[in-house]
Chain A
Amino acid sequence: DGGITQSPKYLFRKEGQNVTLSCEQNLNHDAMYWYRQDPGQGLRLIYYSQIVNDFQKGDIAEGYSVSREKKESFPLTVTSAQKNPTAFYLCASRPGTGGKGNEKLFFGSGTQLSVL
């Protein structure tokens, strides 16, 4: 079955440590996104990628990095520069990048990141 797989489901980070969250999709989608969810706030965009080998900063990119070397993979690294990393992270993808008819997002099941 096609879908988006995020791993791990739960992740713990020590002070000063970088951690990488995995997001893989087999839907042949061009665009992929990383969102962060905090209590009382809507999902906020961290990074997005419209095509392989290209990505752009979202609204809260500081302290994060991404890569898009393969169409199906969009890993997110939470660096030590991110001072408040505890949150629920959602990866999403969608088929195309233009027009109004194809903005439906497909979401992964999320990763809960906590700081030890």
Chain B
Amino acid sequence: AQSVTQLDSHVSVSEGTPVLLRCNYSSSYSPSLFWYVQHPNKGLQLLLKYTSAATLVKGINGFEAEFKKSETSFHLTKPSAHMSDAAEYFCVVSDGLTGGGNKLTFGTGTQLKVEL
């Protein structure tokens, strides 16, 4: 069984300040982890993914996330927020098992608001 918890449903930051979106997961196997972003009126877009290579993963638009097995966390960060970052962000876990459909479990989402 696998699960993912996004600890904050809403995060508000000022433009130019750091962003931290928190995600904790549980998985019976070595998981793959993803962050997706959903902008209003647009489809979901993959930001970055971890698949057992380097624990610090760099994604698009300056975002990165660090896989910490000891803390079962995969928090998303960005050094400096931009207005265009305002969107909803989903943390996703996959157990990566073959034959199981590689079902993905989505977190409940974090709405990021960026203020001037």
Contact = CB atoms under 8 A, between A and B. Distances in A.
Q: DSSP class of B's interface residues: helix, strand, loop or mixed?
A: loop
Interface residues of B, number: 25
Contacts of A58: 103
Given A43-B90, A90-B44, A104-B49, A97 B106 contact: no
Interface stretch (A21-29, A64-72, A105-113): A105-113
Interface string A60-95: 000000000000000000000000000000100010
A56 B101 contact: yes
Interface of A: 31, 35, 40-45, 48, 50, 56, 58, 90, 94, 97-101, 103-105, 107-110
Interface of B: 4, 9, 32, 34, 42-44, 46, 49, 51-52, 90, 94, 96, 98-99, 101-109
